[in-house]
Amino acid sequence: MTGLLEQADTGLSEAGWEALRAAAREAMAHAYAPYSGYPVGAAALVEDGRTVSGCNVENASFGLGLCAECGLVSRLQATGGGRLTHFACVDGRGEPLVPCGRCRQLLYEFGGPDLVLETPAGFMTLAGMLPQAFGPEHLTTGRTAADGKASDGQVADDPASDDQAS
Ligand SMILES: [Zn+2]
Protein backbone atom coordinates (compact mmCIF):
# COMPACT_ATOMS: atom_id res chain seq x y z
CA MET A 1 0.00 0.00 0.00
CA THR A 2 1.27 3.48 -0.82
CA GLY A 3 1.08 6.57 1.30
CA LEU A 4 3.39 5.45 4.09
CA LEU A 5 5.42 8.22 5.71
CA GLU A 6 8.91 8.08 7.16
CA GLN A 7 8.86 8.83 10.88
CA ALA A 8 10.94 11.95 10.26
CA ASP A 9 8.20 13.27 7.98
CA THR A 10 5.41 12.89 10.53
CA GLY A 11 6.20 16.14 12.33
CA LEU A 12 6.59 14.26 15.60
CA SER A 13 9.74 12.77 17.15
CA GLU A 14 10.01 9.10 18.02
CA ALA A 15 9.83 10.11 21.68
CA GLY A 16 6.64 12.01 20.90
CA TRP A 17 5.13 8.96 19.24
CA GLU A 18 6.13 6.79 22.19
CA ALA A 19 4.41 9.23 24.55
CA LEU A 20 1.31 9.07 22.38
CA ARG A 21 1.40 5.25 22.39
CA ALA A 22 1.79 5.33 26.18
CA ALA A 23 -1.30 7.53 26.47
CA ALA A 24 -3.22 5.12 24.25
CA ARG A 25 -2.08 2.17 26.40
CA GLU A 26 -3.12 4.02 29.56
CA ALA A 27 -6.56 4.62 28.08
CA MET A 28 -6.75 0.99 26.93
CA ALA A 29 -6.26 -0.14 30.53
CA HIS A 30 -9.60 1.54 31.32
CA ALA A 31 -11.54 -0.08 28.49
CA TYR A 32 -14.88 -1.71 29.23
CA ALA A 33 -14.87 -4.73 26.95
CA PRO A 34 -16.43 -7.60 28.93
CA TYR A 35 -18.16 -9.09 25.87
CA SER A 36 -15.48 -9.07 23.20
CA GLY A 37 -12.48 -9.23 25.50
CA TYR A 38 -10.89 -6.80 23.03
CA PRO A 39 -9.83 -3.64 24.86
CA VAL A 40 -8.74 -0.67 22.74
CA GLY A 41 -7.17 2.65 23.63
CA ALA A 42 -6.66 5.67 21.41
CA ALA A 43 -4.77 8.91 21.91
CA ALA A 44 -4.19 11.97 19.79
CA LEU A 45 -2.24 15.18 19.92
CA VAL A 46 -4.12 18.44 19.53
CA GLU A 47 -2.60 21.37 17.68
CA ASP A 48 -2.25 23.31 20.94
CA GLY A 49 -0.17 20.52 22.52
CA ARG A 50 -2.89 18.78 24.51
CA THR A 51 -3.20 15.01 24.41
CA VAL A 52 -6.68 13.51 24.38
CA SER A 53 -7.51 9.84 24.70
CA GLY A 54 -10.35 7.38 24.92
CA CYS A 55 -11.15 3.70 25.42
CA ASN A 56 -13.79 1.44 23.98
CA VAL A 57 -16.97 0.98 25.99
CA GLU A 58 -19.18 -2.00 25.19
CA ASN A 59 -22.82 -2.56 26.07
CA ALA A 60 -25.02 -5.56 26.81
CA SER A 61 -26.90 -4.45 23.71
CA PHE A 62 -23.89 -5.34 21.57
CA GLY A 63 -24.58 -2.98 18.68
CA LEU A 64 -24.35 0.02 20.99
CA GLY A 65 -20.69 -0.43 21.80
CA LEU A 66 -18.52 2.67 21.49
CA CYS A 67 -15.07 2.64 19.91
CA ALA A 68 -12.17 4.32 21.71
CA GLU A 69 -12.26 7.13 19.16
CA CYS A 70 -15.76 8.07 20.31
CA GLY A 71 -14.44 8.86 23.77
CA LEU A 72 -11.43 10.61 22.28
CA VAL A 73 -13.41 13.10 20.21
CA SER A 74 -15.76 13.69 23.12
CA ARG A 75 -12.76 14.44 25.33
CA LEU A 76 -11.41 16.74 22.63
CA GLN A 77 -14.56 18.83 22.63
CA ALA A 78 -15.04 18.68 26.38
CA THR A 79 -11.55 20.08 26.95
CA GLY A 80 -11.72 22.96 24.50
CA GLY A 81 -11.95 21.53 21.00
CA GLY A 82 -9.23 22.11 18.41
CA ARG A 83 -7.67 20.13 15.59
CA LEU A 84 -6.06 16.70 15.94
CA THR A 85 -2.58 16.41 14.43
CA HIS A 86 -1.26 12.95 15.38
CA PHE A 87 -3.11 9.77 16.35
CA ALA A 88 -2.23 6.38 17.83
CA CYS A 89 -4.47 3.45 18.68
CA VAL A 90 -3.51 0.22 20.46
CA ASP A 91 -5.01 -3.20 21.09
CA GLY A 92 -4.99 -5.19 24.33
CA ARG A 93 -1.31 -6.05 23.86
CA GLY A 94 -0.47 -2.38 23.43
CA GLU A 95 0.34 -2.87 19.75
CA PRO A 96 -0.67 -0.39 17.02
CA LEU A 97 -4.13 -0.83 15.57
CA VAL A 98 -6.00 0.85 12.72
CA PRO A 99 -9.21 2.75 13.41
CA CYS A 100 -12.33 1.11 12.00
CA GLY A 101 -14.05 2.69 9.02
CA ARG A 102 -16.56 4.60 11.11
CA CYS A 103 -13.85 6.04 13.31
CA ARG A 104 -11.79 7.18 10.32
CA GLN A 105 -14.80 9.36 9.56
CA LEU A 106 -14.94 10.58 13.17
CA LEU A 107 -11.27 11.49 13.02
CA TYR A 108 -11.68 13.25 9.66
CA GLU A 109 -14.10 15.70 11.22
CA PHE A 110 -11.48 16.86 13.73
CA GLY A 111 -8.20 16.13 11.97
CA GLY A 112 -8.89 16.37 8.26
CA PRO A 113 -6.81 14.76 5.53
CA ASP A 114 -3.46 15.74 7.08
CA LEU A 115 -3.93 13.94 10.40
CA VAL A 116 -1.00 11.52 10.80
CA LEU A 117 -1.80 8.05 12.15
CA GLU A 118 0.41 5.25 13.33
CA THR A 119 -0.68 1.93 11.81
CA PRO A 120 0.75 -1.59 11.98
CA ALA A 121 2.25 -0.91 8.53
CA GLY A 122 3.76 2.45 9.46
CA PHE A 123 2.75 6.10 9.54
CA MET A 124 0.05 7.35 7.18
CA THR A 125 -2.08 10.41 6.68
CA LEU A 126 -5.80 10.13 7.08
CA ALA A 127 -6.12 11.05 3.39
CA GLY A 128 -4.34 7.76 2.65
CA MET A 129 -6.58 5.77 4.97
CA LEU A 130 -9.86 7.41 3.99
CA PRO A 131 -9.57 8.49 0.34
CA GLN A 132 -12.11 10.96 -1.04
CA ALA A 133 -13.54 11.48 2.43
CA PHE A 134 -16.89 13.12 2.96
CA GLY A 135 -16.37 16.06 5.25
CA PRO A 136 -17.70 19.39 6.50
CA GLU A 137 -16.70 21.06 3.21
CA HIS A 138 -19.29 19.03 1.31
CA LEU A 139 -22.10 20.47 3.41
CA THR A 140 -21.35 23.94 2.07
CA THR A 141 -21.18 22.96 -1.61
CA GLY A 142 -24.24 20.71 -1.89
CA ARG A 143 -26.82 22.91 -0.20
CA THR A 144 -29.90 24.26 -1.83
CA ALA A 145 -31.04 27.84 -1.36
CA ALA A 146 -33.75 26.67 1.02
CA ASP A 147 -31.43 25.19 3.60
CA GLY A 148 -28.50 27.54 3.07
CA LYS A 149 -29.58 29.65 6.03
CA ALA A 150 -28.90 26.73 8.33
CA SER A 151 -25.18 27.44 8.08
CA ASP A 152 -23.65 28.89 11.23
CA GLY A 153 -20.35 29.68 9.50
CA GLN A 154 -18.41 27.07 11.45
CA VAL A 155 -18.20 24.69 8.53
CA ALA A 156 -16.94 27.33 6.11
CA ASP A 157 -14.12 28.24 8.50
CA ASP A 158 -12.80 24.70 8.66
CA PRO A 159 -9.19 24.66 7.40
CA ALA A 160 -9.79 21.22 5.90
CA SER A 161 -12.10 22.79 3.34
CA ASP A 162 -9.14 24.25 1.47
CA ASP A 163 -7.77 20.81 0.69
CA GLN A 164 -10.87 19.35 -0.91
CA ALA A 165 -12.12 22.32 -2.89
CA SER A 166 -11.78 20.71 -6.30
ZN1 LIG B 1 -14.24 2.44 15.48
Tens digit of pLDDT for each residue in 117-156?
999 999 999 999 999 999 998 998 777 776 555 445 445 4
Cα torsion angle, 93, 98, 102, 106, sign: positive
Cα of 56 from ligand 1 centre, angstroms = 9
47 catalytic, yes or no? no
Q: What is the rounded average pLDDT of the residues 17-30?
A: 98
Q: What are the structural domains of the chain? A: 4-130 (3.40.140.10)
- The whole-number pLDDT of residue 112 equals 97
In the predicted model, what is the mean pLDDT of the chain?
Answer: 90
26, 47, 69, 109: which is the annotated catalytic residue?
69
100 is an annotated ligand-binding site residue: yes
Ordered DSSP codes for 48-90: TS-EEEEE-B--SSGGG-B-HHHHHHHHHHHTT---EEEEEEE
- pTM > 0.75: yes or no: yes
- The whole-number pLDDT of residue 148 equals 52
Alpha-carbon distance of 83 to 120, in angstroms, equals 24
103 is an annotated ligand-binding site residue: yes
- The whole-number pLDDT of residue 147 equals 58
